[in-house]
Amino acid sequence: MLKNIITVFKIILFVLWMIVQMPVLIIVHYTKFLMPWYAKFYFKAVCLILGIRVKVKGGKLAKARKLLILSNHASYLDIFALGSVFKTNFVSKADVKKWPMFGWIASLGNTVYITRNRMDAKNQISVLDKAFEGRKLPLIIFPEGTSSNGCEVLPFKSSMFAMFENQIGKKSDNNIVIQPISMAYVSKRGRRISDSERQAFAWWLDSQTITNHLFGAVKAMPVGVEIIIGDPIDISKFKDRKELASYCHNIVESGFNKLTGKEV
């Protein structure tokens, strides 16, 4: 009973935080140059309210002019965790724009929306180019194309890499640099958690509403999230998008397995 009360209290604080910050978010959105610092502050506050502790391992993000970060994906909670440690914008499927409240906040937060249609690859790379030029920030994309159960890294959709087909195998200073990262929900109050506990933070069941998931996830918190930053990848060294997608997947999966203790 007490745990349910604490959970409801945290969610109320979270909702109040979003409401109170809406006017600030609108102002910062139009000033643009303040957004990277404000967004990081915003997500740090969300993590503090909900009980998400984030630790980053590995190297540092590349200083490339066009940096696209690839990450595995379990739920919308990933955005809170990643946004609290990186000054970046997110790349999302266009459907997210229509989500109640979350879609509106995502748009004000300068989320870049793309379609996941290989036939539209030329338009997607144009959208990313404009985003890089206009914001001069790294972008984070989830190439699994959906959320997992939090216990594995799903295969990367090669169609997501179709946008790079004009750059694969071609050396150019204008190429987008890819950098893989791996993230996992790994601990609770100092102990490592199991796969069954990890699933509480993944929103992957079609039958589960976002309200039900949020309540269950917050109830299971606090949780420790760990992130491994991989080395940058030169896409000019690959022969096609499938090879690139497979290589990136293997790196992200390897990092995830290290974090969750599944590495052989």
Determine the Cα–Cα distance for residues 6 and 93; give it in Å rounded to an integer: 33
Q: How many CB atoms sit inside 10 A of residue 202's CB?
A: 22
Cis peptide before 36 (omega within 30 of 0): no
Range of the domain at 55: 2-260
CA 87 to chain centre: 12
Q: How many CB atoms sit inside 10 A of residue 77's CB?
A: 25
Residue 113 parent element (H or E): strand 112-114
240 in Cβ contact with 219 (< 8 Å): no
DSSP 120: G
Cα separations (Å) of 62 from 22, 65, 95, 203? Answer: 32, 9, 30, 30
Q: Report pTM.
A: 0.89
Determine the Cα–Cα distance for residues 218 and 229; give it in Å rounded to an integer: 26
- List, in sequence order, the alpha helices (H) in the chain: 2-31, 35-50, 77-83, 102-108, 121-135, 195-198, 210-220, 241-260
Please report, in tens digits, the pLDDT of each residue of the chain (264 residues total): 889 999 999 999 999 999 999 899 888 888 877 888 898 999 999 999 999 999 999 888 998 878 889 999 998 899 999 999 999 888 877 777 777 666 767 776 778 887 765 555 556 667 776 777 666 788 899 999 888 999 999 999 887 787 777 777 777 777 788 999 999 999 999 899 999 999 999 988 777 888 899 999 999 999 999 999 999 998 888 888 889 999 999 999 999 999 999 865
Determine the Cα–Cα distance for residues 99 and 105; give it in Å rounded to an integer: 10
Number of domains in the chain: 1
Q: What is the CATH number of the domain that holds 194?
A: 3.40.1130
